[in-house]
Amino acid sequence: MMANTNYPSANPQNNPSGNSNTKNIVIGLLAAGLLGTWGYFLYDRNKSDEQIQITQAQANTAMSSRDSVQLIYNEALTRLDSITGSNNNLQGQLSDRQSEITKLKREINSILAKKNASQAELARAKSLIAQLNSKIENLEQEVARLTGENQQLASANTQLSAEKQVLETNLQTSTAERDELASTVDVASTFSASNFNIKPINEKKNGKEKETSTARRVDKLMISFDVENRVARSGPADIYVIVTGPNGQVISDASMGSGMLTTRTEGDKPYTFKTTVDYEQGTRKTIQVPLRQNDFQTGNYKIEIYQNGFKIGEGVRSLKKGGIFG
C-alpha cells in the first residue's frame, strides 16, 4: 500500500527547461554554420569578382598595348604608301628592298592578327616596326635625292633653244631624258632651204647651155637652193629629191637610184634620186642637182626637197609645147 507524500520523488522526471536549452544551442550552431557558409560564399564571390576584374584589366592592358602597336604600324604603312604611291620612279629603287620589307610586314601582321598576343610578341612587333621605319626613312632620303636631281634637270632644260649650236650638254640625265634631248637635237639639226630655183636647160653641142621653157628642147632641169643650220654638225648629209611629172606620177628610175623615203609626218614616199652634200656647221651652202631625162613632157614638174625626214623646200616649173620656131 502506497503512502501519499508531498516530498519530491527521488526518480528524475522529464525536464522541459533542459530540452529547450539544448534546442537553442543546436539552432545557434546551425545559424553560426549557415552564417559561416554565407560568409565564405560572399568572400569567394568577392574573390572571383576581383579575379575577373584583374583578368579584365589585364585583357584591357593587352588590348591597349596591341592597339598601340597597331597604331604605330599603321603610321609606318601610311608613310610607305605615301612614298611608293607618289613616286613612280622609286619603284625601281624599291625592288631590291621589296623582299626585306615584305618579310617584315608578314611577321608584323602575323603578330597583330592574334587577339591575345603576349607582351613579348608585342615587343617583338615593335622591334620589327622600328626596322621597317628605318627602311622607310632610307627610302625618304632616296626620294629627296631623286627630287633634287629632277629639279636640276628641269632647270637645265629650260635653257635649251633651237638656236644652240650644241644641244648635247653635260646634263646628268636619266636614259629617257637623254633620249628626249637627242631627239630634240636631231629635229633641230634639219636644214632650212631658201632661194629655191628650177631652170630648164638646153645643152648645145658646143657645150654651151641655154635656158628654155620648151619641153622638147629641155635636156635637164637644174634644181638649185641654199641650205643652212647652226645646230647641225659638220659632215655629210643626205638630201632627197622627189620629182612629180605632168602625169601626176613620181619619176622613178633605177639608173638614178630611185627608192623609198621614210618621212617624219607623211609616212613612206618614193623619191626620184638622192644626193649627199658635205656640210660645214653654221654656214650657208648652195646646192645644185640636175634632173636628166630623155624626154620631158609638156606640163608642170613639181620638185620637192627632203632632208632628215622633213620637207625643206619645193617648187613647180612649167614646160610648154614649142611653136614652129620654138
Give the span between the Cα atoms of 91 and 108, in whole angstroms.
23
Asked whether residue 110 is assigned to any structural domain, the reply reads yes
Q: How many domains does the chain have?
A: 2
Asked whether residue 326 is assigned to any structural domain, the reply reads no
Asked whether residue 176 is assigned to any structural domain, the reply reads no
Asked whether residue 181 is assigned to any structural domain, the reply reads no
Average confidence score pLDDT of the chain: 78
Q: Which helix (H) or strand (E) holds 184?
A: helix 175-188
pLDDT at 229: 84
pLDDT at 271: 96
pLDDT digits (tens, 9 = 90+) for 142-181: 777 877 777 777 766 776 666 666 655 665 566 776 666 6
Q: Are residues 311 and 228 in the same domain?
A: yes
Angle between helices 98-112 and 119-157 in degrees, nearest 10: 150
Give the span between the Cα atoms of 49 and 43, in whole angstroms.
10
Q: Are residues 138 and 214 in the same domain?
A: no
Asked whether residue 26 is assigned to any structural domain, the reply reads no
- What pTM was estimated for this model as a whole? 0.44
Q: Are residues 195 and 263 in the same domain?
A: yes
Q: Are residues 37 and 125 in the same domain?
A: yes
Q: 247, 246, 249: which is closest to 258 by C-alpha?
A: 249
Q: Are residues 99 and 201 in the same domain?
A: no
Q: Looking at the DSSP assignment, which residues form a beta bridge with residue 273?
A: 241
Q: Are residues 38 and 140 in the same domain?
A: yes
Give the span between the Cα atoms of 98 and 15, in whole angstroms.
100
The residues, ordered by sequence, that sit 6+ positions from 239 with a Cβ below 8 Å of its Cβ are 191, 227, 274, 275, 276, 277, 287, 289, 305, 306, 307
Q: Are residues 214 and 295 in the same domain?
A: yes
Q: Are residues 152 and 195 in the same domain?
A: no
Asked whether residue 203 is assigned to any structural domain, the reply reads yes
pLDDT digits (tens, 9 = 90+) for 196-229: 999 999 998 888 999 999 999 999 999 999 998 8
Report helix, strand or coil for 206.
coil
Residue 166, number of CB atoms within 10 A of its CB: 9
Q: Are residues 212 and 311 in the same domain?
A: yes
Domain holding 68, by residue range, is 33-157
Which portions of the chain are predicted below pLDDT 50? 1-10, 12, 326
What type of residue sits at position 33? G
Asked whether residue 296 is assigned to any structural domain, the reply reads yes
Q: Are residues 208 and 135 in the same domain?
A: no
pLDDT at 198: 93
Sort 117 into a burial class: Cβ within 10 Å, 0-12 / 13-18 / 19+: buried
CATH number, position 297: 2.60.40.10
Asked whether residue 1 is assigned to any structural domain, the reply reads no
